[in-house]
A and B are shown apart, each in its own frame.
Chain A
Amino acid sequence: MGRYTKIFATFARACLVRDMTFRTNFLLECITSIGWMSMNLAFYLLVFTFTAEIGRGTGWTREPFFAFVATGLIINSIVQALFMPSAEELTEMVRTGGLDGVLVQPLDAQFVLSLHRVDFSAFANGLVGVGLLVWSLARMDHAPGVIAWILYPLLILCGVAILYSLVIMLAAATILLGRNQSLYDFWFYLTNFSRYPAEIYSGPWGGPLRNLCTFVIPILLVVNVPARIIAQPLTGQGWGMVAAAFSAAGASLLVSRIVFQAALSRYRSASS
């Protein structure tokens, strides 16, 4: 096992020990999270009592759409469990000077600041997402092929990478500004776009928005590409989206790395 894997395992173990110390809080977080997600699912079920498909001819009928929602749940739960708790804590670490302690350790600071806190309760949604995915796939007419099954987890990782890059760039802004609560709100608004099929963004306003959220901030590729691969037959356009998702993930990671390192070199530290 590599050193960084061992260190991450130690972080995760420590967080689990801490979560188990406050068991009621842990259970409440799981219940709140699953409750919020159940309300969303109920809302989508309600929508499908009025329509058979989201957008005419898009292929997003009830079961494929729930596979889409399940994919979104899985990706979001990974980001929420692994990266968001650390990113949220960064504001406090910059404000109080706690970041100093990280910078003197012989470790990659981005690794520590991205992964030192793990929120195990956020995995609850991911597990429900896996269950929802199995349920949807079992009821769909279309059965995913071998290539789709190989690409699906890789594209999930691409989605996680794109969201992670966004989170870590906002965290970098925290280092430069000292506080950026509004930027985390901005992250929440942006990720809202990723929750719906790209096809709904059409027309004079939707078209430019779709281009912006695909090519500039590739948020629309996060869920759409893996969901389309698993829920709909693979077409030529689908391969283009796969290529776009891999490229966007690589580019996002690279840009976020550059931005984060630049921010660290400008860190001022807090007065003691």
Chain B
Amino acid sequence: MVFPYTSPMHNSSQNAAIHPQKSRAASREDAGREPVIAVESLAKEYRVYDKPEGLLASISGLFQRKSRIVHALRGVNLSVGRGEFVALLGPNGAGKTTFLKLLSGIITPTRGTAQVLGHVPWERADDFRRRFALVMGQRNQLWWDLPAAESFRLHKEIYRIDTARFERTRDELVDMLDVRKILLQPVRELSLGERMKLELVAALLHEPQVLFLDEPTIGLDVVAQHTLHRFLTHVQAQRQMTVVLTTHYMKDVAALCERVVVITHGDILYDGSLDEIVDRFTTHKIVTLDLDDTPSLERMERFGFPCEIRGPQVILRIDRPRIAEVLPEILRSERVRDISVEDVPLEEIVAALFRSEAAQPPTTHQEARA
């Protein structure tokens, strides 16, 4: 028997915690941290054209096309202080990457304002672009056919890094990630993990004050992920760099971020600490028992909700307020070989959070003909 670890979201209690971004942003500023990123009512809309099926419809589409407005971001407010490591979480198409693209000035918003390091990003001032970096896990920014050392040399010129500083920073980063031996190998011959390490070195050569990371660990094996986690933690702490990360891997979030912003349908659904997510959005804990015998379903239901019974091993979901009273009772009435008590896996909590919002239909899509 296998059941999901998470129970349906309790709307009455959790709706109060939804959309807290304004108060949180204010409280962070109150805490005295210098806001490096300040975003107000930022919205981005796209007009997309539907391509009709079939030959005749395609031909008529040449003269009259149906279009609709997609709201990628719907008036987001956010403030990030110097030295914060923030994770942007959300399902595919939630608006995370659009948000990063707006903050890095790649695209311009439909409405709203943003300041990053005191600059409006989409004005693309050189002084601003010299002080931040963007790494996209799904895109290669190094010269494909050449060794990374050549791309680094180009970065040196683009970012006007003086030779001594360039060599010092490059050597430090290269040694930290242990990539010296692949510096002279063409990038196209490297593994995904090696490429991502070199992308990070390139992005950090000019010592940016703000780093935007868009799914940097996508497709990487566990060892490479772990290496990047240690590297990013070290560099961020050492340089007091502000980092905004988008990811689908909760391991990234748990290893790197103290603050989590959940975006769905272009809105911020949650903005707070990682611990707070667990506190606010779970009502129970997961208790794993290793017993002497195989128990019956009824026997286990006395303690909580049995998620899984596989031989003598049982996984129970127990309401958090009852934990203190139930655990002694289990130990008293059952022959327990081993016991562990854990929070619901972060993936499950976040997935439930996404699902709860996904159930709400998106609004204000306009239709037009062009």
Residues of A within 8 A of B (CB): 3, 6-7, 10-11, 14, 17-18, 21-22, 96-98, 100-101, 103-107, 109, 265, 267-269, 271-272
Given A14-B143, A269-B107, A272-B97, do A106 and B158 touch, yes or no (CB 8 Å)?
yes
10 A-B residue pairs with Cβ-Cβ distance under 8 Å, sorted by A, are: A3-B157, A7-B157, A103-B124, A104-B134, A105-B129, A105-B158, A106-B127, A107-B158, A267-B106, A269-B101
B residues 72-98 near A (Cβ < 8 Å) are: 97
Residues of B within 8 A of A106 (CB): 126-127, 129-130, 158-159
Shortest Cβ distance from residue A109 to the other chain B in the assembled complex, whole angstroms: 8
Q: Which of B30-38, B145-153, B270-278 contacts A (4 or more CB under 8 A)?
A: B145-153
CB pair A267–B139 under 8 Å, yes or no, is no
Residues of B within 8 A of A96 (CB): 139
CB pair A100–B154 under 8 Å, yes or no, is no
- Whether a CB of chain A sits under 8 angstroms from the CB of B46 is yes
CB pair A97–B139 under 8 Å, yes or no, is yes
Considering only CB atoms and an 8 Å cut-off, how many residues of chain B contact the other chain? 33
- Whether a CB of chain A sits under 8 angstroms from the CB of B214 is yes
CB pair A268–B107 under 8 Å, yes or no, is yes
- Whether a CB of chain A sits under 8 angstroms from the CB of B186 is yes
Query: How far apart are the CA atoms of A54 and B133 in the complex, in Å?
Result: 59
Nearest residue (CB) in A for B155 is: A105
Shortest Cβ distance from residue B236 to the other chain A in the assembled complex, whole angstroms: 19
Residues of A within 8 A of B67 (CB): none
CB pair B105–A14 under 8 Å, yes or no, is no
Shortest Cβ distance from residue A264 to the other chain B in the assembled complex, whole angstroms: 9
Query: How far apart are the CA atoms of A105 and B124 in the complex, in Å?
Result: 9
- Whether a CB of chain A sits under 8 angstroms from the CB of B160 is yes
B residues 87-131 near A (Cβ < 8 Å) are: 97, 101, 104-108, 124, 126-127, 129-130
Residues of B within 8 A of A (CB): 46, 97, 101, 104-108, 124, 126-127, 129-130, 132-134, 136, 138-139, 141, 143, 145-146, 150, 153-154, 157-160, 186, 214-215
Given A105-B129, A107-B158, do A267 and B107 touch, yes or no (CB 8 Å)?
yes
Residues of A within 8 A of B154 (CB): 7, 10-11, 14
Query: How far apart are the CA atoms of A106 and B130 in the complex, in Å?
Result: 6
Shortest Cβ distance from residue B6 to the other chain A in the assembled complex, whole angstroms: 28
Query: How far apart are the CA atoms of A55 and B7 in the complex, in Å?
Result: 88
> Considering the complex of A and B, which 7 residue pairs feature the smallest CB-CB distances, nearest first?
A106-B129, A106-B126, A101-B141, A106-B130, A18-B145, A7-B157, A100-B106
Shortest Cβ distance from residue A143 to the other chain B in the assembled complex, whole angstroms: 44
Query: How far apart are the CA atoms of A100 and B124 in the complex, in Å?
Result: 12
CB pair A104–B160 under 8 Å, yes or no, is no
Residues of B within 8 A of A269 (CB): 101, 106-107
Nearest residue (CB) in A for B246 is: A272
Residues of B within 8 A of A101 (CB): 134, 136, 139, 141
CB < 8 Å neighbour of B101 from A10, A18, A100: A100
CB pair B104–A98 under 8 Å, yes or no, is no
Shortest Cβ distance from residue A231 to the other chain B in the assembled complex, whole angstroms: 41
CB < 8 Å neighbour of A104 from B105, B127, B145, B186: B105
Residues of A within 8 A of B104 (CB): 104
CB pair B186–A21 under 8 Å, yes or no, is yes
CB pair B139–A104 under 8 Å, yes or no, is no
Nearest residue (CB) in A for B121 is: A104
Nearest residue (CB) in A for B154 is: A10
Query: How far apart are the CA atoms of A17 and B105 in the complex, in Å?
Result: 32
CB pair B214–A272 under 8 Å, yes or no, is yes
Given A105-B158, A272-B136, do A17 and B146 touch, yes or no (CB 8 Å)?
yes
Shortest Cβ distance from residue A182 to the other chain B in the assembled complex, whole angstroms: 14
Q: Identify the interface centre among A96, A106, A269: most chain B CB within 10 Å of its CB.
A: A106
Query: How far apart are the CA atoms of A84 and B214 in the complex, in Å?
Result: 31
List 5 other contacts, CB 8 Å, given A101-B134, A106-B130.
A100-B136, A104-B106, A104-B132, A272-B138, A272-B139
Shortest Cβ distance from residue A145 to the other chain B in the assembled complex, whole angstroms: 42
Shortest Cβ distance from residue A23 to the other chain B in the assembled complex, whole angstroms: 13
Query: How far apart are the CA atoms of A14 and B129 in the complex, in Å?
Result: 23
Shortest Cβ distance from residue B17 to the other chain A in the assembled complex, whole angstroms: 29
Shortest Cβ distance from residue B291 to the other chain A in the assembled complex, whole angstroms: 48
Query: How far apart are the CA atoms of A101 and B97 in the complex, in Å?
Result: 14
Residues of A within 8 A of B101 (CB): 100, 269
Query: How far apart are the CA atoms of A18 and B129 in the complex, in Å?
Result: 28
Residues of A within 8 A of B130 (CB): 106
Shortest Cβ distance from residue B159 to the other chain A in the assembled complex, whole angstroms: 7
CB < 8 Å neighbour of B160 from A3, A17, A265, A272: A3
Residues of A within 8 A of B127 (CB): 106
CB pair B105–A103 under 8 Å, yes or no, is yes
Nearest residue (CB) in A for B150 is: A14
Query: How far apart are the CA atoms of A107 and B129 in the complex, in Å?
Result: 9
Shortest Cβ distance from residue B263 to the other chain A in the assembled complex, whole angstroms: 15
CB < 8 Å neighbour of A98 from B105, B107, B134, B139: B139
Query: How far apart are the CA atoms of A21 and B104 in the complex, in Å?
Result: 35
CB pair B139–A103 under 8 Å, yes or no, is no
Residues of A within 8 A of B157 (CB): 3, 6-7, 10
Query: How far apart are the CA atoms of A256 and B231 in the complex, in Å?
Result: 44
CB pair A100–B134 under 8 Å, yes or no, is yes
Nearest residue (CB) in B for A13 is: B150
Residues of B within 8 A of A10 (CB): 153-154, 157
Query: How far apart are the CA atoms of A3 and B133 in the complex, in Å?
Result: 20
Residues of A within 8 A of B126 (CB): 106-107
CB < 8 Å neighbour of B108 from A7, A14, A98, A265: A265
Shortest Cβ distance from residue A244 to the other chain B in the assembled complex, whole angstroms: 35
